């Protein structure tokens, strides 16, 4: 039962992430709500004032890590 609960949660989260990032870009902030909560006193400063939004920056960092990881795996693995 617990396992089912975990699987259901992961599935639900994946759908939410997919919708927030791909389907409804304007709600992409929800994906990073943990960061928003942590940095709430300053978060209103972190807007696309002159460049891009933080979520996109973090997404690129994750993409970078995956790319480096795959490249390292190909070379050393």
Partner 1 sequence: MIEIPPIMAIILPLFGAFLTPIIATVSRRFDAERKVCGWFTVAITIAMLLTVASMGVKIWGGEVIVYKLGGWAPPWGIVLAVDGLNLLIALIVAGVSSLVAIYSLVYMRRDTRIDLYCVLLLLVTAGAMGITLTGDLFNLYVFFEIMSIASYALVSFRRKWDSIEAGIKYLIIGSLGTSLILLGIALLYGMVGSLTIADLAQKLGQIAPSDVVVPLALLVTGFGIKIAMIPLHAWAPDAYQAAPSSISALLAGATTTAGLYAMIRVVYMMFGAFGVGTIFAIFGLITMVLGALMALTQRDLKRLLAYSGISQMGYILLGVGLGTALGIQGGLFHLLNNAIFKVLLFMCAGAILYRVGTTNLDELGGLGKNMPITAGLFAIGALAISGVPPLNGFASKWTIYIAGIEAGKAVFSLIAIIMSVLTLAYFLKAINSIFLGQRPKRLQNVEEAPLTMLFPMMLLAVLCIVLGVLPSLGIDLVAPAQGAIMNQSGYIHAVLGGI
Chain residues that interact with partner 1, rule: CB under 8 A: 35, 39, 42, 45-47, 49-52, 54, 56-58, 60-61, 63-65, 67-69, 71-73, 75-77
Query: What whole-number distance in Å separates Cα of residue 49 and Cα of residue 23?
Result: 23
Comparing CB distances to partner 1, the nearer of 17 and 66 is 66
Minimal distance in Å, beta carbon 59 to partner 1?
A: 9
Cβ proximity to partner 1, 19 vs 39, nearer residue: 39
CA-nearest of 40, 37, 27, 31 to 62 is: 31
For residues 67 and 70, give the distance between their C-alpha atoms in angstroms, rounded to a whole number: 5
């Amino acid at each position: 039962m617990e396992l089912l609960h975990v699987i259901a949660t992961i599935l639900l989260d994946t759908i939410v992430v997919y919708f927030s990032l791909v389907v409804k870009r304007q709600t992409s902030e929800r994906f990073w709500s943990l960061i928003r909560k942590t940095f709430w006193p300053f978060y209103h400063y972190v807007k696309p004032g002159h460049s891009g939004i933080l979520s996109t920056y973090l997404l690129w960092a994750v993409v970078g890590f995956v790319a480096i990881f795959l490249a390292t795996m190909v070379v050393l693995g």
